[in-house]
Amino acid sequence: MTPEAARALAREGFSRRDFLARSGALIVSFRASGLLERVLDAQGPFDTRASHVDPRQLDSWIAVAADGRVTAFTGKCELGQGMLTAQTQLVAEELSVPISRVHLVMCDTDVCPDQGTTSGSQSTPTNFNQGSLARAAATAREALVKLAAARLNLPADQLIAADGAVASRTDRTRRVLYGDLVAGRKLNLPLDGNAKRKPPGEWTVLGTPVPRLDMAAMATGAFEYVHNVRRPGMAHGAVVRPPSVGATVASVDEGSVRGVAGVLTVVVKGNFVGIVAEKPWQAMQAAAKLRVSWREAATLPAQASFYDHMRTRPSRDAFTVHSKDVDDKLRGAASTLTATYLHPFQMHGSMGSSCAVAEVAGGTVTVWSATQSAYPTRSGVARVLNVPVETVRVIFTRGSGCYGINGADTVSYDAALLSQAAGRPVRVQLSRKDEMAWENYGFPYVIDERVGIDASGAIVAWDTEAWFASLGGRPGYDAPGNVVTGMLAGFPTAPFRPGAAAEPSGEFRNGSNAAPSYVAGRVGARAGGTGTITNERVLTHTVASPFFTGPLRSPSRLQNTFAHESFMDEIAAHVKADPVEYRLRHLADDRLREVVSRAAKAAGWDTRPSPKSGSTRTGIVTGRGISAVAYEGDNGYVAMVAIVDVDQATGAITAKRLVVAQDCGPISNPDGMRNQVEGGALHGLSRALGEEVTWDDRRVTSVDWRTYHTLPLGFSIPAIETVLINRDDVRATGAGETAITVVAAAIGNAVFDATGVRLRQVPLTPGRVKAALALRA
C-alpha cells in the first residue's frame, strides 16, 4: 500500500487491517494502477480513492441483476450539467445495453466509490477516459464475454456483446443474456487495466445527443430535489448568522422565542446559532425574533481601495514560470506595454438557496445533501458532530445548480448540528441573505501585465504579476472550518501562511491559467506551454481575504484569462496587427490555434487591426473581439468571437452575437456540450457585465437579487453559435468551464474595437464604460 493510500484510509477511519478484511487481499499501489488522477491546485480532491467501497473492485462500480438491468455506482454527481445522462450513456455504451436498462447511483457514500469532489472540470477526464467508471464498464463487458465464452463453448474473440447479451459473431442465435450469466451474483473481479474501451468510431450511444434522462421529471414538477426530501417526524431548522464579519456571540436570550408557535429548541455551539421548529415558516420567524447579543466591530477593508489594499498584504507567492531574463529583455525591447486588470469578488448565487436534511438517530447519521463532495462532507459532518465517520452516510440529492462551492456543504453541517441537538430529522433551507452573505466567493484579482516588443512587432518577453485574495475554501476531508458553519462551530479555517516563491520545478503546470497562452512555459529543459514566448515570468501572490472564498466556475482561470486575453488585444492594437492573426503568430499549440481560427472563420472575422476606423463618437457603435484559452493549460480548448453594440450615451454594452469554437476531445453528448457552451457563454456575460459582491465596513451588502446583479431571462440575449470540434484521438476533457472563461475579454475587446476605449475592470458596467468614454482623447 502506498503512503497516500494509507493516509486516505486513516483519514476515513480505517486501519489497514480493516481495509484488507473488507476488500480482500489484493493490495497494489494505487498510483501504479492508475486510479489516482492528478489533483490540480487546491480545488479539492477529484481523484478516485480508497474507502470502504474498494474502487479497484468491479463490483464497487457495476452490478448486473438477474433480469439484465445494470446498476452503476459513481462518485461523480449531476450538478445540472448532464453528468447523469452522459455517465449512463458511457455505461450503456461500454456494456452494450440499452440506456433504459442502466440505472446510475450517484454519490451515496454507503454504496458508491469515493471520487472526491465533482468539480474542476474533472468528471469527464476522470470517468470518460481509461480510468474509474470507464475502466469498470470495459472490464465488465470483457468479463461478461469471458463468462459467455465458457457458457457457449466458443472462443471469446468470436463473441460480441450487444443489447444486453453476448452472442456468436457468426450465429447470433447462439447467445446468452447478461442476467443469465451473472444471475445477480457479484463478479468479484479487480478492474482490469488492460480492458479495452470501445473506440469512438464504434460508439452508438456515447457521442450521440441522447436527451436528458431527467428532463421530463424536471419540467413536470415530479423531480425530487434535496429541497423536497421529507422524513417521518422531520422538523425544520433556521440559522442565525452573525450580523457582521468576525462577530462573536456574547449571549443568546432563549426566552425571546419562548412561546413562539412551533419552536422546539434553540441551539448554540460556539458562534453557531440555530433554531428548530415544527414548520419552516415558524423556524424562520423564530430565527428573526431570537435575541442574540453579538460582539462586533468594523473590521473590513474599504471596498473602494480594496485592490490597492491587496497589493500591500503579506503574501504567499508562487512562480508558474520564471526564465530570469525578463527584466533584461524588457530593457532591450523596442517598446514595452503595461496594463493592470481588476476582477471583483463574485458569487455562485444559486437560484435556490441551499438546503439539506439530516437525521441523527440511533447512533447513525444520514445527510441528504446537494454537496459536490459526498465523502468529504461525510468526514466533515463526522467532525462537526464529533461522531465516528463510519456512522455517517451522505446521500447526494440534487440541488439547485452550484457552479462551485455554494452553500450546499455548509447547510449540510447546519442540518446535522440541528438534528443532533433536536433529536429529530431536521431540514434546513437557508434564507437568501444567509446564502449570499456567507458563501465562499470567487477570488478577486489584481493583475499587472507587462510585455516587451521587438522592432518587428513580435512579443519578446511577457511578465505577469498577480494578487488574489483567499480564505477557507472546500472543506475537503478534514477542514470543516473552511466554510461558515464549521468556522462558527469552532473549527479552524485553514490558516494563511505567507511565503516566498520557490523557483518552478518539475513540469510546467498552468492549472489556474496564471500564465498566458502565448508563453512557452519552459521549466527545466522542457517547454510545456502553448505559446512561443520564451522570456517569461508569471508570479502570483495569494493574500488573506476578509471573506470566505472558494472555487467558482473557472476559478482563477477566468480572472487570469480576462487579463491575458484583454492585454493580448492591447498589444495587437499597439503594433497595429489584427487580433486573430497576432494571436496565431504567438501560439504554438495546434488545438488552440485551431479553435481560434475556427471561431474567427465561423464569425466571418473582419481581418484588420482594432479599433475599427470610422466609428462615430456618439450613438450606438458596433465592434468585434476575440478571446481564447487552453483551459487549465490542456483541459479543453475554446475561442469566442463577440459582436457587441455600445451605446455611447448610456454606456450600455449589448452583446449581439457570440461565436464559440470548442475542442474538448471526444464528445460524450453533443447536445449536452452545446448546452454547457450556451450556459457558460451567458453566465460569463452576466459576470462580465454586472456581477460584483459589495460590502461596507462590517458586512456584505449584496445579499439578494436587487443588490447582486444577474442577467434575467428577459434581457436582450445574443445569438450564440457553437462550433464543436470532435476529436477521437485525444483524451476527453472537461467542457463546463471553458466558454465562461473567455467571455469578459471577448466583450471588452469588442468594446475596444467599437470605441477605442479599453476596459480593464470587471464588471464592465455602464458607469465604467461612460467614465472611460469621457476620458477618450
Partner 1 sequence: MSSVALTVNGRSHTLDVDPDTPLLYILSDDLELKGPKFGCGLGQCGACTVIVSGRAVRSCVTPVGSVGAADITTLEGLGTIDRPHPIQQAFIDEQAAQCGFCLNAVIMTAKAYIDQHPRPDDQEIERAMSGVLCRCFTHTRMLRAIRRYARGGAA
Closest CB to partner 1 among 50 and 276? 276
* 261 lies in the binding site for partner 1 (CB under 8 A): yes
Closest CB to partner 1 among 383 and 683? 683
Residue whose C-alpha cell reads 479543453 in the numeric block: 636
Closest CB to partner 1 among 166 and 226? 226
Closest CB to partner 1 among 227 and 509? 227
* 259 lies in the binding site for partner 1 (CB under 8 A): no
Closest CB to partner 1 among 515 and 552? 552
Closest CB to partner 1 among 150 and 215? 215
Residue range at the interface with partner 1 (CB under 8 A); choices 50-58, 507-515, 626-634, 681-689: 681-689
Q: Where are the alpha helices (DSSP H) in 589-633?
A: 590-603
Residue 287, burial from CB neighbour count under 10 angstroms (0-12, 13-18, 19+): buried
Is residue 156 within 8 A of residue 144, CB to CB? The reply is no
Q: How far is the CB of 233 from partner 1 (least distance, A)?
A: 14
Residue range at the interface with partner 1 (CB under 8 A); choices 13-21, 446-454, 618-626, 672-680: 672-680
DSSP 502: P
Binding mask 367-406 for partner 1 (x = CB under 8 A): -------------------------------xxxx-x---
Is residue 387 within 8 A of residue 416, CB to CB? The reply is no
The three cell numbers locating residue 266: 434553540
Q: How far is the CB of 552 from partner 1 (least distance, A)?
A: 12
* 212 lies in the binding site for partner 1 (CB under 8 A): yes
Closest CB to partner 1 among 653 and 685? 685
Closest CB to partner 1 among 78 and 142? 78
Binding mask 75-114 for partner 1 (x = CB under 8 A): ----xxxx--------------------------------
Q: How far is the CB of 214 from partner 1 (least distance, A)?
A: 7
Candidates 45, 442, 636, 679; binder of partner 1 (CB under 8 A) is 679
Candidates 208, 336, 654, 710; binder of partner 1 (CB under 8 A) is 710
Question: How do strand 102-106 and strand 70-74 relate by DSSP bridges?
Answer: parallel
Closest CB to partner 1 among 32 and 351? 351
* 123 lies in the binding site for partner 1 (CB under 8 A): no
Q: How far is the CB of 580 from partner 1 (least distance, A)?
A: 25
10 Å Cβ neighbour count for 269? Answer: 17
Q: Give the HSE-up count for residue 746: Cα atoms under 13 Å, Cβ half-sphere.
A: 33
Q: How far is the CB of 235 from partner 1 (least distance, A)?
A: 11
Q: Give the HSE-up count for residue 153: Cα atoms under 13 Å, Cβ half-sphere.
A: 0
Residues of this chain, 405-464, that bind partner 1 according to CB under 8 A: 429, 431-432
Closest CB to partner 1 among 150 and 351? 351
Residues of this chain, 279-308, that bind partner 1 according to CB under 8 A: 279-281, 284
* 145 lies in the binding site for partner 1 (CB under 8 A): no
Q: How far is the CB of 216 from partner 1 (least distance, A)?
A: 5
Question: How do strand 235-239 and strand 426-429 relate by DSSP bridges?
Answer: parallel
Q: How far is the CB of 104 from partner 1 (least distance, A)?
A: 17
Is residue 625 within 8 A of residue 746, CB to CB? The reply is yes
**Phi, psi angles (nearest 5°) of residue 240:** -115, 100
- Structural element, H or E, at residue 538: strand 536-544
Q: Coil, strand or helix: which one is 775?
A: coil
Question: How do strand 165-168 and strand 335-343 relate by DSSP bridges?
Answer: unpaired
Q: How far is the CB of 281 from partner 1 (least distance, A)?
A: 5
Q: Coil, strand or helix: which one is 232?
A: coil
Using CA atoms, how far residue 589 sits from 279, 532, 584, 663, 708, in Å, is: 58, 9, 9, 13, 39
Q: How far is the CB of 225 from partner 1 (least distance, A)?
A: 7
DSSP 401: -
CA angle 554, 557, 558 (to 5 degrees): 70
Candidates 155, 199, 221, 232; binder of partner 1 (CB under 8 A) is 221
Round to whole Å and give the CA distance between 538 and 450. 10
Q: What share of the chain is helix, strand, coil (3-state, %, to 5)?
A: 30, 25, 45
- Structural element, H or E, at residue 7: helix 3-11
10 Å Cβ neighbour count for 733? Answer: 24
CA angle 158, 64, 210 (to 5 degrees): 85
Closest CB to partner 1 among 512 and 686? 686
Residues of this chain, 229-258, that bind partner 1 according to CB under 8 A: 230, 236
Number of residues that bind partner 1 (CB under 8 A): 63
Query: Residue 178: which of 280, 91, 262 has the closest Cα?
Result: 91
CA angle 736, 395, 14 (to 5 degrees): 105
DSSP 568-585: HHHHHHHTT--HHHHHHH
Residue 168, burial from CB neighbour count under 10 angstroms (0-12, 13-18, 19+): middle
Candidates 678, 725, 726, 766; binder of partner 1 (CB under 8 A) is 678
* 120 lies in the binding site for partner 1 (CB under 8 A): no
Candidates 26, 217, 334, 730; binder of partner 1 (CB under 8 A) is 217
Candidates 222, 455, 774, 777; binder of partner 1 (CB under 8 A) is 222
Q: Coil, strand or helix: which one is 400?
A: coil
Residue 747, burial from CB neighbour count under 10 angstroms (0-12, 13-18, 19+): buried
Closest CB to partner 1 among 17 and 706? 706
Binding mask 652-671 for partner 1 (x = CB under 8 A): -------------------x
* 704 lies in the binding site for partner 1 (CB under 8 A): yes
Closest CB to partner 1 among 373 and 686? 686
Residues that bind partner 1 (CB under 8 A): 79-82, 211-212, 214-225, 227-228, 230, 236, 261, 279-281, 284, 349-353, 355, 398-401, 403, 429, 431-432, 671, 675, 678-683, 685-686, 704-706, 710-717, 720
